[in-house]
Structure 1
Amino acid sequence: MQNATTHSVGHSVNLYLVNAFTRENSGGNPAGVVLYPPDLNVTQKIAIARQVGFSETAFVYTGDDTDFKVEFFTPEGEVDFCGHATVAVFSTLVSLHLLKPGQYSQKTKAGILSVAVSPHDVVMEQTLPITRPGPDAESVALALGIHPEAIVGTGLPIAVVSTGLPDIIVPVQPGQLDSLQPDDEAIANLSRQFDAIGFHVFELSRQAPITAHCRNFAPLYGISEESATGSASGALGCYLVNHVLPDGTHFLFEQGRAMGSSSLIQVTIDTQARTISRVSVGGQAIMIGTKTVGL
């Protein structure tokens, strides 16, 4: 791990493997991090992401008008932004002593976003929320293998919310989250139909300090379920301010319990005159290894 730059030797690329949004150094969601890669085309980046096998792999470049330019690839293709991979990128740079604690900027396809790095965590700014109506409760319930009343009984809407990537935010009654039986094909079809990445399903927590427990399904992008989703957590924070906790500013979301990889995601929502003015998502990360993949 002494060599900080990622390079290709004999048609291979070195990566760092990082668990982001860990909970006391366990759980989290793994991401691949490629630092300063050689000249790669989109097909090669997808091939690397497939070989890594995680939900996202980030490719990090020196920025022209920002500190960094970061590209995010799933095993199926490029996405505009990824929260847990952003946390992985900046925690890797800090752990390799390539970055000191402070404020940095990253250029993504979702826009230029600021990232605050401390010795303890990484907090990223996300874009302001864009909200539109989601699918009906019957269709969503069928895709999740639950009765529609588990959704309707919350009294809350299903909405598509984006703070960088659009997700279908789905409320379920407490106690329902672990009993979901997701149908990948049905979720992918609804995601495609509503121009969303996937479903972000939550139940409000009965126990402080956790605000809500969540599960995320994005089979349209080759992710049946993932254990920590930063972009959808920012969207959920905005949703809760709009529909549940109008005075809320700090939220703590748990995700990944059903996968045996319980993770924690911190969300801060700033409002001015009842309008959301800033969305920040943060958490901790830990490096779990390195990998060399062939091209």
Structure 2
Amino acid sequence: MTGSIGNDVTIVDACTRGGEGGSPTAVLVDDVTFSDSTRRAIVRRAGTSHAAFVDPDSGTTPTVRFFTASGELTNCGHGTIAAQAFLLHSRRLRAHRLRQRTGGRTFDTTAVQRDNGIEVWFDQGPVELRSCTAAARDSLLAALGIGVDDLAVDDVPCVASPGTPRLLVPVRTPAILLSVRPDLRRLAADCRRLGYLGCFVYTLDPNRNAGAARMFAPAIEVGEDVVNANSTGCLAAHLFATRGQRGVDVEQGHAAGRPSSVFATASGTTQGISARVGGMATIRSRPTDTVDGDAS
């Protein structure tokens, strides 16, 4: 990596809401001379929680790798939105349809320039849904500081995995959601023991296909995400399985002071329930005022 960070790294605010907020994500052209330790150092230097490294020579099927300061991720939802916005912007296009290669999987993406940013959608693929054991559920709820009476009466916690499992936790009201103050050390230990990425705590609006959520992933050193796009796709799959609901718009980032939004749809396929995930992105020129972002 040469020169100043502002010359090498583009900061993309992924999953903005109304043209504001979003999760700051570092995006840059990858270099075959980079070691993984160099990539981790770049994340620390950028001041974001994640960075997307884009292969410049992969044409219509770019290879994108995602790193946090602690290591590589097999996928990253908001990072994919940031990477695709970066590609559209750097190629000076109004729209594109590409295939992205990440973590051994290749999937469809679209990006379109809109008046308030770049709209990106990607194919998340099949989402595995399963029940959580009572012991695991109770341990994680205790770590989150969520009581049984706080849970939604018409929904239940479940494990969802688009590749990496996480616990979806429904709570009754937005006030309860905002009041969650987890014991991050205990939550990290429980998630590592169970093999979970983290816990996606959400509440739903009964009058429309929308809700709000917070994601806690201290097991990978991201205490709380601004945005978790992949978990929104997991929620869409869960709602499709349990209610036949085909889409959801989830507000996130309020606890971090960065209003954000992720859209997701779900449908039945021969491989099971699959989800598509979308969000708006804004290109920024320099890495200032950065905060934690999406785990994966």
CA deviation profile, 1:57-90 (whole Å, cap 9, x unmatched): 0100046596200000012111100011111111
1:1-295 alignment to 2 at 5 Å? 8-9=1-2, 14-62=8-56, 67-109=61-103, 111-120=105-114, 121-134=119-132, 136=134, 137-151=137-151, 153-174=152-173, 175-206=175-206, 208=208, 211-243=210-242, 245-246=243-244, 248-271=245-268, 275-276=272-273, 278-291=274-287
Report deviation, 1:155. Answer: 4.4
- After superposition, the Cα gap between the structure-2 partners of 1:262 and 1:206, relative to the gap in structure 1 and judged at 3 Å, is farther
Q: Name the CA distance, whole Å, in 1 between partners of 2:70 and 2:10.
A: 20
Q: Name the CA distance, whole Å, in 2 between partners of 1:11 and 1:253.
A: 36
- After superposition, the Cα gap between the structure-2 partners of 1:139 and 1:148, relative to the gap in structure 1 and judged at 3 Å, is farther
SS class of match (2:55):
strand
Report deviation, 1:133. Answer: 3.3
Q: Name the CA distance, whole Å, in 1 between partners of 2:122 and 2:268.
A: 17
Length, aligned pairs only: 280
The one-letter code of the counterpart of 1:123 is W
Report deviation, 1:273. Answer: 8.8
Report deviation, 1:99. Answer: 4.7
TM-score of the pair, normalised by structure 1? 0.87
SS class of match (2:9):
strand
Report deviation, 1:25. Answer: 1.2
Report deviation, 1:255. Answer: 0.8
- After superposition, the Cα gap between the structure-2 partners of 1:135 and 1:171, relative to the gap in structure 1 and judged at 3 Å, is farther
- After superposition, the Cα gap between the structure-2 partners of 1:55 and 1:9, relative to the gap in structure 1 and judged at 3 Å, is closer
Report deviation, 1:271. Answer: 2.3
Q: Name the CA distance, whole Å, in 2 between partners of 1:143 and 1:67.
A: 41
Report deviation, 1:272. Answer: 5.1
The one-letter code of the counterpart of 2:280 is Q
TM-score of the pair, normalised by structure 2? 0.86
Unaligned runs of 5+ in 1: 1-7
Aligned-pair identity in percent equals: 28
- In 1, are the aligned partners of 2:47 and 2:287 still within 8 Å (CA)? no
Q: Name the CA distance, whole Å, in 2 between partners of 1:59 and 1:117.
A: 18
- In 2, are the aligned partners of 1:58 and 1:72 still within 8 Å (CA)? yes
Q: Name the CA distance, whole Å, in 2 between partners of 1:250 and 1:228.
A: 18
- In 2, are the aligned partners of 1:192 and 1:220 still within 8 Å (CA)? yes
- After superposition, the Cα gap between the structure-2 partners of 1:90 and 1:141, relative to the gap in structure 1 and judged at 3 Å, is same
Report deviation, 1:290. Answer: 2.7
Report deviation, 1:24. Answer: 1.1
* Equivalent in the alignment of 2:294: none
Q: Name the CA distance, whole Å, in 2 between partners of 1:273 and 1:51.
A: 44
Report deviation, 1:33. Answer: 0.2
Report deviation, 1:154. Answer: 2.6
- After superposition, the Cα gap between the structure-2 partners of 1:154 and 1:52, relative to the gap in structure 1 and judged at 3 Å, is farther
Unaligned runs of 5+ in 2: 289-296
- After superposition, the Cα gap between the structure-2 partners of 1:98 and 1:163, relative to the gap in structure 1 and judged at 3 Å, is farther
SS class of match (1:118):
strand
Q: Name the CA distance, whole Å, in 1 between partners of 2:155 and 2:147.
A: 15
Q: Name the CA distance, whole Å, in 2 between partners of 1:75 and 1:134.
A: 30
Q: Name the CA distance, whole Å, in 2 between partners of 1:37 and 1:191.
A: 33
CA deviation profile, 1:261-292 (whole Å, cap 9, x unmatched): 1211110112259952x311001111222359
The one-letter code of the counterpart of 1:60 is V
Q: Name the CA distance, whole Å, in 2 between partners of 1:273 and 1:39.
A: 41
- After superposition, the Cα gap between the structure-2 partners of 1:135 and 1:63, relative to the gap in structure 1 and judged at 3 Å, is farther
SS class of match (1:268):
strand
- In 2, are the aligned partners of 1:110 and 1:164 still within 8 Å (CA)? no
SS class of match (1:24):
coil
The one-letter code of the counterpart of 1:239 is H
* Equivalent in the alignment of 1:3: none
SS class of match (2:91):
coil
